[in-house]
Amino acid sequence: MTFQILLVEDDRAIRTVLRDALQNDGHDVTTAADGDEALAVLRARTFDLLVLDVLLPGPSGLEILQVVRKKDQRTPVLLLTARSSEGDKVLGLELGADDYVTKPFSLRELRTRVRVLLRRVDRSPAQPAGRFRLGPLDVDLDAYEVRRGRAVQRLSPTETAMLALLWQERGRVVDRARFLREVWGGSSISNRTVDTHLLHLRQKLEVDPKEPVHLLTVHGVGYRLAVADEDRP
């Protein structure tokens, strides 16, 4: 299956190498060299995946991500970050990025991350996530959002996939290895990435993320979604 990918990278050599690699994998790749060009392209069409360099002339990759997430929670976003920019990685995940790779990276690593994110896109129409109550929360995974009264929290595709798995196994522990296998497709990311995504998900679900009542840590193993009897289907 051919996917539509937008690659935004200001370094011409890197852009060319990445474009050729993704095209060789059978994808239709559109490129942009700066933030303004990227936003113009995004106003004109939609994509199955965005690959955004964080440091760009004009609007940054993080600014583009913010614009995208205001109207689109479904399209996966992969960030390209500098090794020294730990803050960019954390902020990117908070803004709704699904994954990141750190420069310098191997083509094999990037293609693996892209393949995992596109696999999620490919299977999502046939597997609607559903809607459920979680205490005071109305969770709509098909809409990628959590409502508490009139307040709405948007979920990234990765957060949605993680919460769907937790709901499927509600009351039982989901270990990190299973998250890596079922959400990231077994790609070589660290447990720390799983923990970071769960931290951001907890911030969206809990009144006090430091004293969670729904998304609980089982130390040394993984996480468990605590569900009251009245919320069980």
Spans of all domains in the chain: 4-125, 128-231
Distance CA 73, CA 97 (A): 10
**Level-2 CATH architecture, domain 4-125:** 3-Layer(aba) Sandwich (3.40)
Bridge partners (DSSP) listed for residue 42: none
- CA dihedral 34→35→40→43, nearest 10 degrees, is 140
pLDDT at residue number 218:
92
- Stretches in the chain below the pLDDT threshold 70: 83-85, 122-129, 186-189, 229-233
* Alpha carbon distances (Å) from 98 to 77, 175, 214: 5, 19, 22
pLDDT at residue number 2:
85
pLDDT at residue number 110:
92
128-231 CATH fold? Arc Repressor Mutant, subunit A (1.10.10)
Specify the pTM. 0.69
